Every structure is written in C-alpha cells, then in structure tokens.
Structure 1
Amino acid sequence: MSKASSQAVICSDVTRTAAAISQGAVVAYPTESVYGLGCDPDSQQAVNRILQIKQRPVEKGLILLAAELSQLLPYIDYAALSEQQRQLLVTSQARPTTWLVPISAATPAWICGQFTSVAVRLTDHPIVASLCQLSGKPLVSTSANLSGEPPAQTAEQAAQLAGVDLVFDGPLGGAKQTSQIKDISTGQVIRA
C-alpha cells in the first residue's frame, strides 16, 4: 500500500475498497478497458465529489456498474422492458455494452442527470464484480480523468486525480475500447 502525491491511497484489498465505498469514499478502480471513478450511487455527497474531480456537469448523468441484475433493479423501470430488452441487459456482448434503460421513480437525479433513462452495465470484471457484491449495490462508474482528457490506464495515473480517496491497483480487462452505449428501447448507438 502506498500514497501517491495526490494523497490517494493505493491498495489491492477488495474488502477495504468496498468498505471505503460504503463509507462514502471516491475510489478509482480498473474496469474492462480503463480506470474508472466510482462511489456509492446513493451518496449524493460522493457523487458530487466525482463530478467535481472530473469537472463534469450533473446533467450528463453517470453509469452504474453491477455484478448482477438484482443490484440494478432499484434504479431501473424493469416492468417497462420487454422480454427481449430484459435479455439484452443480461446477455454478454462481444464488446462491453452500457444500456440506457428507463429509470425507476427512486433513481436519484444525481445519477440520471437530465434524462429519464439511466446508463447501466453488468460487468464480469472480477474486481468490479467483487466490489459490487461486497457493497451489495451497483457502483457509479465514469472514466478516471478530467472531462475531455484521456482516461487513466494505471493505478498511478488514477491516483494523480485530486480528490480521489483510494485507488485499487489491479489489472484492466481485455477490452481495447471503452464500452459502447446503446439505447435499450431503440437499439440506437449513443457512443460507438
């Protein structure tokens, strides 16, 4: 375990990282393709800190990553989805795919921004899946960078972002690109 110049603690203890998330910390962690910034989606204070770190407006909304569908159910209007759309949510794609799904009445505005949908993705990245399982809920996910800058590819790069409390040092997944974003209702590709 070490401290980077930004004062973020770098560790590789998934239990410690999950506990920090549950206590309102902002963490950086490896995803399928880049390092992400995350926190408890129900902590407005932590989400606001991520938005400040990234210099990103709340109106844009954020992605939720989960290990299993049940973790996303409080945030999505599952009843509004067809059986085919429900299958899309749980079917692995050749490339990680984030789906825009209608929000539930309980979805906080700091997650969905100005939209009536929320961006969600089931992940099979072992570190992210473990963090979600240990905290019992999805994880906010946005690339670890200032808006418009290249995303962090290493724990050391992620630790340079001022305001990050803890960085999980682990391997990225094998994806060559960040996830594509598709609207589950129309199939339209929002981010290729």
Structure 2
Amino acid sequence: MQHTSTLLDIKSLLTVLRKQRVIAYPTEAVFGLGCDPDSEIAVQALLKLKRRSWQKGLILVAGHYAQLTDYIDESALDNTVRERIFSRWPGPVTWVMPAHPTAPYWLTGQYASLAVRNSAFEPVRRLCLAFGKPLVSTSANLTGMPPARTTAEVHDQLGVAFPVFNEVVEGRDNPSEIRDALSGDLIRQG
C-alpha cells in the first residue's frame, strides 16, 4: 500500500482545525503543532500527541495583536510594558503576559499567565487571519526528538497522514525568544 503525504492548503487546514484536530505548520524556525485554542478536545489531543503535561501551559501565535486580547489581561499592561511589547512585534518574540481571567486552564496550565506571539512570518499570519483567531503553537516533534524543520521531518515523526501546511519555515536557527512582558526578563534565548 502506498502512502502519500498530507500537504494541505489553508482552506483544507481550516476544515481540519474546525473538526478539533491538530495540524503542523511552519513557523520562524521549526514546524509547529497547532490547534484551536478554544477547543479543550483539540488541545488535549495535542498534549497527548506531544506527551506534554497540561500544567506547563502553551503558547498562542496570532496574525494580529487583536486576536490575543480575549486571552490576555490587557489591564495589567501599562504604557511602558506596551511599548516594550510593540517595539518587538510583530516578530519572533513570545511574551509571557498575565492571562485574562476567562482564559482556559488548558492554555495557561498551572500559571496565571499565558505565552503569546504576534508573528510577522507570512504563512503563520495568513493561517491565523483565515482561522479568525490565534493557534496553539508548540514544536512539531515527539518527546525526545528534535523539532521538525521540514515537512518530511514532520511526516517522519508524526506519520504521512498528519495534516501539514504546505509551506517552508522562515529559516531562523532557533525557536522564538521568550520574555516576561512585565519585567522584560529573558526566559528563553531565541
């Protein structure tokens, strides 16, 4: 039996996302696994696939800042913090911000904060804007394996039938830098 890889366009990926399933898509440095952040079913499927504890929390990636406002507590961001964030956005910087009181626990994990990124990478922006909201963003790899940087590597780890956005990564060497929005402190080097 011959298997063909599942490389999809945005329209097909939207159908998969609306069925509460997980997809792979290119980001700035590696392929990401993503799903509808409002679907506990989809997020639990992603966590099971990654063998990742819900307590660690997740990153959301958006095509525009407005897509993040339902998930973060904007009232906790003063002008200095906003200037710090927007001086680096859109771009490959993930900011850990206070979570909105209604942000789902399956996104925040054990924290009162949420990691979010407003990407400048065009395929991510197109996908999020077409979906109408941010996506969960975690590296596309199985526990203990290196993050996938090509569609072939995604299929090697997750199977040829796994739905993958048919685009390439931007080419950065490292995943996004992560910083605390309130303090500006570096959490992960990018």
Output the TM-score relative to the length of structure 2.
0.91
CA displacement, residues 123-157 of structure 1 (integer Å, 9 cap, x when unaligned)? 01111111110111000000001233210011121
8 A Cα contact 1:90 1:122, kept in partner: no
The partner residue of 1:185 within 167, 182, 187 is 182
Alignment counterpart, residue 29 of structure 1, candidates 16, 25, 33: 25
Does structure 1 residue 154 correspond to structure 2 residue 150? yes
Post-superposition CA distance 1:43-98 (Å, at most 9, x none): 11111111111111111111000011110000000111011212333333697211
1:115 and 2:111 matched: yes
Question: Are 2:126 and 1:125 aligned?
Answer: no
| Residue type at the aligned position of 1:173 | E
Whichever residue aligns with residue 171 of structure 2, its letter is G
State the alpha-carbon separation in 1 of the partners of residues 171 and 149 from structure 2: 12
- For 2:29, the aligned partner's letter is S
The letter for the 2-side match of 1:104 is H
Judge conservation of contact 2:58–2:138 (CA < 8 Å) in 1. Answer: yes
Match 1:75 to one of 43, 68, 71: 71
**TM-aligned CA distance change 1:187 to 1:27, over 3 Å:** same
Counterpart of 2:11?
15
Q: Is the 8 A contact 1:69 1:90 kept in 2?
A: no
After superposing the two structures, state which structure 1 stretch, 103-112 or 156-165, moved more: 156-165
* 3-state secondary structure, aligned to 2:116: strand
Of 166, 171, 179, the residue aligned with 1:174 is 171
Structure 2 gaps of 5+ residues are none
What SS is found at the alignment partner of 2:25?
A: strand
Number of aligned pairs? 186
Instruction: Return the letter of the residue paired with 1:172.
Output: V
What TM-score results when the alignment is normalised by the length of structure 1? Answer: 0.90
Q: State the shift of 1:175 in Å.
A: 1.6
Kindly indicate whether the alpha-carbon contact (under 8 Å) linking 1:25 and 1:165 is maintained by their aligned counterparts in 2: no
Backbone CA RMSD of aligned residues? 1.9
Structure 1 runs not aligned, ≥5 long: none
Contact 1:89 1:122 in 2 (8 A): no
Identity across the alignment (%):
41
SS at match of 2:12: helix
8 Å contact 1:10–1:159 — kept in the other structure? no
